[in-house]
């Protein structure tokens, strides 16, 4: 129950969060999701002084018994935060309902000055597979209410996992219309694949708040600009997130300790340390605060027996880009097996995790496009095409018949796409061992934005195994995982140049699970034979049920504006 100085009566006072909670209290018979969305729509409205909670709240890294709850005290968000330079305390309250009638945890946590007065509360003792509501209080002001959930218990039978997959949200290029719609989806988890902020200056539809960012104060103010966006806040309030970074959280196309060519001449590792610190301060991650230029962020999440999610870092440990970076012809360096995309430690960690997984699916959440993709006659050396032997090493692991059916989730390219992962990337007739799902940008410039409309159709025509590409639109991927299949819906918005716009489903694609892989804990109701490697020999693809077979389903726009 509420702790001292922190009563529900005070919470339900004149704040927007309290008002919203009261409003739904009378109709809490609805589904948890519906109630949550109503609360969140109300709290997203900028109708009251947010006090120190200008950056909203967030949650992430869900486990069966715990989840990380985040906020940051920043009454003057774009100018260093505005808090006195001493540690602060923040009260929190967690309930099983949006009205906070059933409070299950409450207490006080420190917001350290050294961490920009951010809060990372790793709240344990929770029930598996359960939705919760949470809020903070500081200086007599309530935060917005966030909704989050725990993962199912280890090995539990799970009917479905629905992910929102996002990447690349350059603030200056447009509005976060995609997040407005994503917040109304029925998701379990949002996975952000990087480019959460962009480091440059500039102005287009919206403006960055400074020139290129270098210092930790610069990075903090940049996160504050992004996190001040109401649509982004609503998306954080609606679901737990798993966040990994790509390059723009520090510097465009950096590789390990090597900055982008032409980047400001500063000590890059000092800059990277500043970038990583500000990233940690602003994300709901279960990681120790960084000290210095290194921060291990690759980690795994299990969703019962259904899926193991591997969240990778393809930026911090990679070899420098081959052949001069960007779009290039192969120069041989890209074929050098001594180069790595993940670093050899992470490669070994991932291989062991995949081989040790007993889930039905392995979801590999990472940053850059995995499959071979010739673009305008060249290859993007920042993608896995620039690290071909490293890619083959991972493909070889995925080919192991004891490894679960695998899906690689990618971002970075500011385009949507879906394709096969084959044993031999250069042989379109070789066996399919997984699927790749590329989410388009939330806002960052697409090829279409940059004067090359319709390139996606050309890519599909010229790329074996690429079933879909949209290089024009912005949005997100909704991916529903069941024991039987992956069902992806590529959601795109009509425009990002206005604050509001409609949403449509550009394409839906279904990929069945590879039934030749070992049996997993499956619902007893499926009735499908799951022969533990007995009857279904590997490589038996005599029917249309070949592994990785793709089936397009009819497209029905879910939203029309």
Binding positions for Fe ion, rule: CB under 5 A:
168, 195, 444
Exposed, middle or buried: residue 84 (CB in 10 Å: 0-12, 13-18, 19+)?
exposed
Q: How far is the CB of 248 from Fe ion (least distance, A)?
A: 6
444 binds, among Ca ion, Fe ion, none (CB under 5 to 8 A by kind): Fe ion
Q: Which is nearer to Fe ion, 168 or 311 (CB)?
A: 168
Closest CB 247 distance from Ca ion, rounded Å: 5
**Any bridge partners for residue 3, and if so which?**
none
Q: How far is the CB of 325 from Fe ion (least distance, A)?
A: 15
Q: Which does 483 bind (CB under 5 to 8 A by kind): Ca ion, Fe ion, none?
A: none
Q: Which residues face 487 on adjacent strands? A: 480, 510
- Which residue lies nearer to Fe ion by CB, 43 or 253? 253
* Of the candidate residues 246, 385, 483, 514, the single one contacting Ca ion (CB under 5 A): 246
Nearer to Fe ion, 123 or 166 (CB): 166
Closest CA to 82 of 47, 50, 130: 50
C-alpha separations of 535 from 150, 512, 520 in Å: 37, 18, 15
Site string for Ca ion, 358-397 (x = CB under 5 A): ----------------------------------------
Q: Using CB under 5 A, which of 93, 199, 229, 247 touches Ca ion? A: 247
- Binds 188, which of Fe ion, Ca ion, none (CB < 5 to 8 A, cut-off by type)? none
Give me the least distance between CB of 192 and Fe ion, in Å please.
Answer: 12
Query: What is the rounded CA–CA span in Å between residue 505 and residue 524?
Result: 33
How far apart are CB 367 and Ca ion at their closest, in Å? 6
Minimum distance from residue 135 beta carbon to Ca ion (Å): 34
CB nearer Ca ion, residue 306 or residue 413:
413
Nearest CA-CA partner of 508 in 444, 558, 545, 544: 558
Q: How far apart are CA 21 and CA 98, in angstroms?
A: 6
Side-by-side strand order, sheet with 432-438: 299-303, 307-311, 361-365, 405-410, 432-438, 416-422, 466-470
What does the alpha-carbon distance between residue 434 and residue 407 come to, in Å, rounded to a whole number? 6
Per-residue x/- track, 185-204, Ca ion (CB under 5 A)? ----------x---------
Question: Distance between alpha carbon 269 and the CA centroid of its chain, in Å?
Answer: 25
Residue 249 is a binding residue for Ca ion (CB under 5 A): no
- Beta carbon of residue 168, minimum distance to Fe ion (angstroms, whole number): 3
- The one of Ca ion, Fe ion, none whose footprint includes residue 247, by CB under 5 to 8 A per kind, is Ca ion
Give the β-pairing of 131-138 and 88-95: antiparallel
Please report how many Cα atoms fall inside a 13 Å half-sphere around the Cα of residue 546, on the Cβ side.
Answer: 16
Contacts to Ca ion from residues 406-465, by CB under 5 A: 412
Task: Catalog residues that contact Ca ion under the rule CB under 5 A.
Answer: 195, 246-247, 412
């Amino acid at each position: 129950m509420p702790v001292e100085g922190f009563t529900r009566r005070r919470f339900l006072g004149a704040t927007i969060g309290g008002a919203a909670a009261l409003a739904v209290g009378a109709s809490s018979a609805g589904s948890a999701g519906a109630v949550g969305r109503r609360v969140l729509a109300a709290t997203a409205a900028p109708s009251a002084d947010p006090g120190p909670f200008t950056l909203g709240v967030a949650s992430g890294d869900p486990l069966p018994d715990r989840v990380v709850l985040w906020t940051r005290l920043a009454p003057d968000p774009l100018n260093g935060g505005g808090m006195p330079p001493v540690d602060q305390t923040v009260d929190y309250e967690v309930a099983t309902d949006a009205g906070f009638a059933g409070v299950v945890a409450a207490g006080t946590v420190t917001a350290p000055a050294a961490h920009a007065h951010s809060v990372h509360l790793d709240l344990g003792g929770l029930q598996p597979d359960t939705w919760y509501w949470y809020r903070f209080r500081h200086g007599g002001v309530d935060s917005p209410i966030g909704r989050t959930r725990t993962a199912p218990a280890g090995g539990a039978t799970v009917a479905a996992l629905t992910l929102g997959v996002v990447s690349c949200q350059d603030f200056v290029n447009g509005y976060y219309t995609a997040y407005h719609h994503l917040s109304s989806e029925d998701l379990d988890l949002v996975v952000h694949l990087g480019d959460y902020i962009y480091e440059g200056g500039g102005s287009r539809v919206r403006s960055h708040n400074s020139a290129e960012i270098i210092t930790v104060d610069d990075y903090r103010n940049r996160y504050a600009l992004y996190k001040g966006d109401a649509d982004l806040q609503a998306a954080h309030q609606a679901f737990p997130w798993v966040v990994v970074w790509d390059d723009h959280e520090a510097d465009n196309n950096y590789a390990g300790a090597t900055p982008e060519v032409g980047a400001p001449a500063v000590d890059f590792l000092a800059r990277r340390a500043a970038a990583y610190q500000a990233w940690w301060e602003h994300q709901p991650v279960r990681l120790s605060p960084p000290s210095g230029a290194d921060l291990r962020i690759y980690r795994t999440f299990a969703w019962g027996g259904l899926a193991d999610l591997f969240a990778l870092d393809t930026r911090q440990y990679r070899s420098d880009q081959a052949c001069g970076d960007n779009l290039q012809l192969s120069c041989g360096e890209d074929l050098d097996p001594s180069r790595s995309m993940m670093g050899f430690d992470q490669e070994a960690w991932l291989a062991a995790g995949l081989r040790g997984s007993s889930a039905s699916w392995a979801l590999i959440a990472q940053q850059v496009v995995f499959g071979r993709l010739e673009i305008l006659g060249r290859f993007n050396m920042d993608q896995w095409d620039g690290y071909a032997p490293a890619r083959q090493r991972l493909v070889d692991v995925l080919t192991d018949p004891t490894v679960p059916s695998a899906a690689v989730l990618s971002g970075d390219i500011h385009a949507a796409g879906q394709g096969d992962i084959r044993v031999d990337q250069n042989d379109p007739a070789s066996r399919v061992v997984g699927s790749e799902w590329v989410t388009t940008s939330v806002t960052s410039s697409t090829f279409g934005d940059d004067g090359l409309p319709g390139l996606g159709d050309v890519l599909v025509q010229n790329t074996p195994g690429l079933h879909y590409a949209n290089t024009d639109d912005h949005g997100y991927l909704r991916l529903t995982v069941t024991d039987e299949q992956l069902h992806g819906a590529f959601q795109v918005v009509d425009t990002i140049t206005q604050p509001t716009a409609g949403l449509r489903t550009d394409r839906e694609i279904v990929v069945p699970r590879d039934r030749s892989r070992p049996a997993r804990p499956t619902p007893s109701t499926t009735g499908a034979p799951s022969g533990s490697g007995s009857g279904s020999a590997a490589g038996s693809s005599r029917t249309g049920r070949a592994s990785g077979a793709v089936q397009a389903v009819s497209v029905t726009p879910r939203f029309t504006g």
